[in-house]
Amino acid sequence: MRDITWRLFTPLRLAILAGTMVAASATQSAELVQNGSFDAGTQDWWWTQNIAPEIRDGRICADIPGGTTNPWDIIIGQDNLELEEGGHFRFAYRVWGNPRWLVRALVQVPEPPWDPYVEITSIPTAEGESQSATFHSKAPPPGLPPRIKPGQVVFQVGGSATPWTFCVDEVSVTSGAEFVFYRPDTGPRVRVNQFGYLPDGPKRATVVTDAPEPVPWQIEDARGAVVLEGLTTPRGFDAPSGTRVHTVDFTALQQTGEGFVLRADGDRSYPFAVRPGLYRELLVDAVSYFYPVRSGIEILDSVAGEGYGRPAGHVGAPDTDSINQGDNDVPCQDEDTSRRVYGEPWTCDYRLNVTGGWYDAGDHGKYVVNGGISVAQLLAAYERAKLRGGESLSRLGDGTLRIPETGNGVPDVLDEARWHLEFMLRMIVPEGDPLAGMVHHKIHDNEWTGLPLMPHLDPKTRELHRPSTAATLNLSAVAAQGARIYREFDPAFADRLIEAAQSTWEAALAHPALYATARDGRSGGGPYHDYDVSDEFYWAAAELFITTGAETYHEFLKNAPEWSGDVFRPEGFDWGHVAALGRLSLATVPSRLPDDELKMVRDSVIAAADRFVETVAQQPFGHPYAPRSVTYDWGSNHLVVQTALVIATAYDLTGDRTYRDAAVESVDYLLGRNALNISYITGYGTVYSKNQHSRWFAASLNPDLPHPPKGSLAGGPNSGIQDPTAQRLFRVQGCPPATCYVDAIQSWATNEVTINWNAALSQFAAFLADQ
């Protein structure tokens, strides 16, 4: 049997991972660190000027001052390590902390951008603890001999608000080490939806086994009594997971209750429930995620939950003593920076108040294109509920979510969406500028900050980045969508929205190719680059036509390449592929679209859903995501959700339970029926993601901070493994696509939390709550 998945050994020792370890053969060992035992005092070591290390009890110690921001604000290190390309190495040391605080230990490249070979992050005790990890230096290009690459050891110990004492000893980096290949523990080979199943829905599971023939299975209730049994269906080798699997169909189970388990092939699943109304709480939790990530407002424990309260972030004024620079008076990037980024000079002579909005993901940036799809999907969840009625409408109404506006007579989901929509309106270029009416692409720090860092302690300069056509059309689309939805509750706001939707549309027509570039992601925030905005034009035109009925938008739609094209990729849709948003709105929201055109639009949704339903049936883990590249994309979990939403829409259009059941089955993957046997939704299931990448949901780095709130969706497997943590684990031996994930806070490529992923989950949870 082959089972390749992984689990963290402990949330505080992020480089030490549990499971079966397979060591590569070692060559002759050599010590690369000089004076690692400090027998020669502090010789060969250097440190930043804000500390004065000394030898105490045979180890180097330093009294660390409080009040710094980032781990790298205070460092003890050693240079001149010689690392041979393609070599295997072991990094080890013993460390003390009193009181406990974060220590970030790295072997890294000794020059910007300081790429790490290995990182160990821990919170040591006053009694001390030993840490170690193996790492691999990237091999030379084929045909070239290995070179010696420079390296350095650093202990980053800054970022504490209060003073503490740091000590380290027995520091070692040895070459010729046995490299430990990662084969982690995934728990039982029987994979189920760990949260549960609906009584009248599909109930399926997956068993990892090499058995060539069907094997018996049994469902036991909480008392251990067998309530259903049968034989598995062999499915052969599943390439995305790298395992041989069987599937189990126990849809015939009608008994409700908690604590069911599935036994098969000598193993048993994690427990699960069977009960009606199963996903009502998921809807509330998924949408309530947005309040704790708001910018510009104090987050209250009494609203968000114990441990999630914090001061307002980015409200400090530049002319005060506040460490926080604030978003109420933000300048544009300077001309020299923009020339390097865009290849041409750009800046502005105005400053904007862009307070509010949601922090996009693990950093403190705010992005219009990612915010656009997030607002759109929250609004779409409400609009569907309003048009169809049902459970989700009552669950999204006033008084349903954990937000401070509850009780104001406006549905809570609309209050939450408005928080970011108002921010997007503030990102419009003012009158008098050559780009008036366009929308700034993003705002974030001018430099990257470290983890953990609370928003109100971020000291970096905030900058507006160049407007883009994509951002402008995002605002046009969601403002048009919002105008029809908010009119019932705030006509003045609806008027403001439709005016903004139309003016930004005209601005985009005047500047149709002002692209965000990939180069604008090297410092302080992600680029969200997009060099094809045809889909944004289609989406905005669709929302404007639905809201206004104006023929000019109808004609634009019919002339767009997306009008008769297939806008539903096998990979799902996301912030960079938004034509599907326009197509789904046209198919479901009443408009002046002629009957024959409406039929064409709806037929295209149903045809795409048919393909995704077939994918669910073909995938032995029962999810509708099958990328053409056979690799998993960044944020693959939310792409699973987006494809499931297309299936759900087909059910809304047709009432055919085939679509309903396939959509419901798709959520099983997110809740544990997957290659890793982990629920990707925090707080749901027996084993779930809880160390997602975030600067303030960072309990694994600072026990005084919380984990991401219940209902947070982790990014999921990502074949690109772009971050150093994932690369250290998987770069040498590789990883099957559905297994390229680690629940570690430093793994921003596989384990980030973002507003657009939770917005998709919110919309899907609204559908599930109705079933």
Which of the residues are catalytic? 363, 693, 743, 752
The set of residues, in sequence order, having a beta carbon less than 8 Å from that of 150 and lying 6+ positions away, is 79, 80, 81, 82, 83, 109, 110
The Cα-based distances of 348 to 314, 429, 434, 466, 595 in angstroms read 21, 10, 10, 9, 47
**Kind and range of the H or E element at 444?**
strand 442-445
CA distance 313 to 306: 18
**Are 657 and 666 spatial neighbours (Cβ–Cβ below 8 Å)?**
no
> Using CA atoms, how far apart are residues 653 and 599, in angstroms rounded to an integer?
11
CB atoms near residue 24 (< 10 Å): 15
CA geometry: angle at 696 spanning 326 and 740, to 5°? 125
Q: How many CB atoms lie within 10 A of CB 141?
A: 7
- Which pair of tokens denotes residue 747? 């793994």
CB of 105 closer than 8 Å to CB of 120: yes
CB neighbourhood size of 150 (10 A) = 12
Positive or negative: CA dihedral 216, 218, 224, 226: negative
Beta bridge partners of 131: 93
The answer to whether residues 524 and 460 touch, using CB atoms and an 8 Å cutoff, is yes
3-state class (DSSP) for residue 501: helix
Crossing angle for the helix pair 579-588 and 469-486, to the nearest 10 degrees: 20
660/288 Cα distance (integer angstroms): 25
Q: Is residue 214 a contact partner of residue 230, using CB atoms and an 8 Å limit? A: no
Contact indicator for 715, 757 with CB cutoff of 8 Å: yes
Query: Nearest-5° angle of CA 676, CA 681, CA 684?
Result: 95
Residues 6+ apart with CB under 8 A from 60: 38, 42, 45, 53, 54, 76, 167, 168, 169
The helices-and-strands tally (H runs, E runs) of the chain is 16, 30
- Three-state DSSP at 481 gives helix
Burial class (CB in 10 A: 0-12, 13-18, 19+), 369: buried
Answer left, alpha or beta for residue 103, where phi above 0 means left and psi between -120 and 50 means alpha: beta
> How far is residue 684's CA from residue 738's CA, in Å, rounded to a whole number?
20
Taking residue 436's Cβ as centre, other Cβ atoms within 10 Å add up to 14
Q: Please, which residues bridge with residue 174 across strands? A: 31, 90
Helix ranges (DSSP H) in 549-628? 551-559, 579-588, 595-618
Q: How far is it, in rounded angstroms, from Cα 73 to Cα 695?
A: 16
| Identity of residue 160 | S
Side-chain half-sphere exposure of 762, counting CA atoms within 13 A: 35
Burial class (CB in 10 A: 0-12, 13-18, 19+), 580: buried
Closest by Cα among 136, 131, 102 to 118? 136
Greatest CA separation found in the chain?
85
What's the rounded Cα separation, in Å, for the pair 59 and 53?
A: 10
